[in-house]
Amino acid sequence: MGFLDIRNVTKSYGQLEVLHRVDISVEEGEFLVLVGPSGCGKSTLLGMIAGLEGISSGEIAIRDRVVNGVHPSKRNIAMVFQSYALYPNMTVGQNITFGLEMHGVPKAERDKALAEVAKLLQIDHLIDRKPGQLSGGQRQRVAMGRALVRDPDVFLFDEPLSNLDAKLRVDMRTEIKKLHAKLKRTIVYVTHDQIEAMTLSTRIAVMNKGYIQQLGTPKEIYDSPANVFVATFMGSPAMNVVPARIVVREDRPYAEVVLGDGAKSLLAFSQPGLASYDGHDILLGIRPEAITDPEGADRKSQNIVSLKNRVIVTEPAGSDTFVTMSLGGKDVIARMRADVDIAGGDDFEFAVNMEKAVAFDPKTEERIRP
């Protein structure tokens, strides 16, 4: 029994099922991020938790109370919307306390709660302004204040940062993380931005086409993706996924890949269990940061394999240099130190950290876990 239980929940519009049997149990104080491309059903799921969308089958329970059919205002949740949804005719103070007023909280208590929240979010000086007179970041704070003041069981965030400019978004992200660390409240947060998902969450549910693709901690999702979709969706640049074949030499499994010049090279796997897949075609997944120059390789890794290949192009990005080469007929991006000395056309000795490599079934695109 979790704090917020989503049990076998589906959503259909007529014959069309848009959300398929979602099953998530959220513990108290958890920060769950629902992430996925647009149309994956993440906002629908959030709307169902909020009570703004009906539940076609299954049940949602908050603190062991099934809330199917319970009005949104009686679920003890609060929501922050993408557009902030501030009432334009009310001042900041009235916006924040509107929910309390609707719940019949006396004026004195409302004012006290408002003062506390305004202080916490540093918007004390804006209390008497109208939303139209605020900047994007200030509106964002007011929207959060409106959620905080209710002191709900569960906070729901619907892409709250996507309307902010890039710099402010990073600032507010840190702000939200701090707030969660301080208040330790249960949060369900929807975003399409995988960096927000990685940085904020204690757990991530990666969604696509109405299915939960994988549910796990950010580290599990990143290091051990369940399928090709999760592997390529999370991380920027995306994980390199290239066709390869498993060959076994002296009981040890290797990935045989085609280099840029058509020659073949063997990369030793760290998982001995893959030996039972001798001769199988696979998709080999390697994160860009697992391919470096020999000096930049991870010293803790037990399995650095060197690979000679031609560099196609380099992209210095300031903090890193991205180096593109060809493996298995696909462009593969390596993330290297900023001051690495390579140019396009060079033959270079890459260091591949095969401890971090994963193998996928090319047909089902599911992870091969020996």
Partner 1 sequence: MSAVSQDTAVRTGRVTRIFIYLVLLLFALFYLLPLYVMGINSLKPLPEITGGNMMALPKTWTLDAWRSAWSTAQIGVSPTGLKPYFLNSILMVVPAVAISTIVGALNGYVLTKWRFRGDTIVFGLMLFSCFIPFQIVLIPMALVLGKLGLAGSVPGLVLVHVVYGIGFTTLYYRNYYATFPTELVKAAQIDGAGFFQIFWRILLPVSGPITVVSVIWQFTNIWNDFLFGVSFGGTSQPMTAALNNLVQSSTGVKEYNVHFAGAIIAALPTLLVYVVAGRYFVRGLMAGSVKG
Tell whether residue 89 is a contact of partner 1 (CB under 8 A).
Answer: yes
* CA 336/CA 10 separation, integer angstroms: 44
Smallest gap, in angstroms, from Cβ of residue 9 to partner 1? 19
Nearest distance, CB of residue 121 and partner 1, angstroms: 17
Of 52 and 179, which CB lies nearer to partner 1 in the complex structure?
Answer: 52
Which parts of 52-81 interact with partner 1 (CB under 8 A)? 52, 71-74, 77-79, 81
Pick between residue 146 and residue 356 the one whose CB is nearest to partner 1: 146
Residue from the set 50, 67, 221, 242 that interacts with partner 1 by CB under 8 A: 50
Overall residue count recorded for the chain in this entry? 370
Residue from 56, 68, 82, 301 touching partner 1 (CB under 8 A): that is 82
* Piece of the chain touching partner 1 by CB under 8 A; list 94-102, 177-185, 201-209, 260-268: 94-102
Cβ-based nearer residue to partner 1, 39 or 99: 99
Please pick, from the candidates 65, 103, 264, 369, the single residue that binds partner 1 as defined by CB under 8 A. 103
CB of 87 to partner 1, least distance (A): 6
Our CB check for partner 1 shows the closer of 118 and 147 to be: 147
Tokens read off for 46: 């959030």
Nearer to partner 1, 71 or 299 (CB): 71
Kindly tell me which of 35 and 86 has the beta carbon lying closer to partner 1.
Answer: 86
Shortest gap between Cβ of 15 and partner 1 (angstroms)? 16
Q: How far is the CB of 98 from partner 1 (least distance, A)?
A: 5
The residue among 114 and 204 lying less far from partner 1, judged by its C-beta, is 114
List, in order, residues 6 or more apart from 218 with CB less than 8 Å away. Answer: 197, 198, 201, 203, 204
CB of 52 to partner 1, least distance (A): 5
Which residues 139-178 are close enough to bind partner 1 by CB under 8 A? 146
Interface with partner 1 in residues 257-276 (CB under 8 A)? none
Which tokens sit at 92? 């900041």
Q: Which stretch binds partner 1 (CB under 8 A): 46-54, 207-215, 275-283, 332-340?
A: 46-54
Task: Please report how close the Cβ of residue 55 comes to partner 1 at its closest, in angstroms.
Answer: 16
**CB closer to partner 1 out of 47 and 235:** 47
Output the smallest distance, CB 156 to partner 1, in A: 9
User: Of 30-38, 97-105, 262-270, 360-368, which part binds partner 1 (CB under 8 A)?
Assistant: 97-105
| d(C-alpha 183, C-alpha 149), whole Å | 12
Query: Helix crossing, 107-120 with 136-148: angle to 10°?
Result: 130
Kindly state the smallest distance separating residue 14's Cβ from partner 1, in Å. 12
Taking CA atoms, 38 is separated from 22, 35, 159, 191, 228, in Å, by: 17, 9, 11, 9, 18
Query: From the CB of 33, what's the least distance to partner 1, in Å?
Result: 20
Q: Rule CB under 8 A: which residues touch partner 1?
A: 50-52, 71-74, 77-79, 81-83, 85-89, 98-99, 102-103, 146
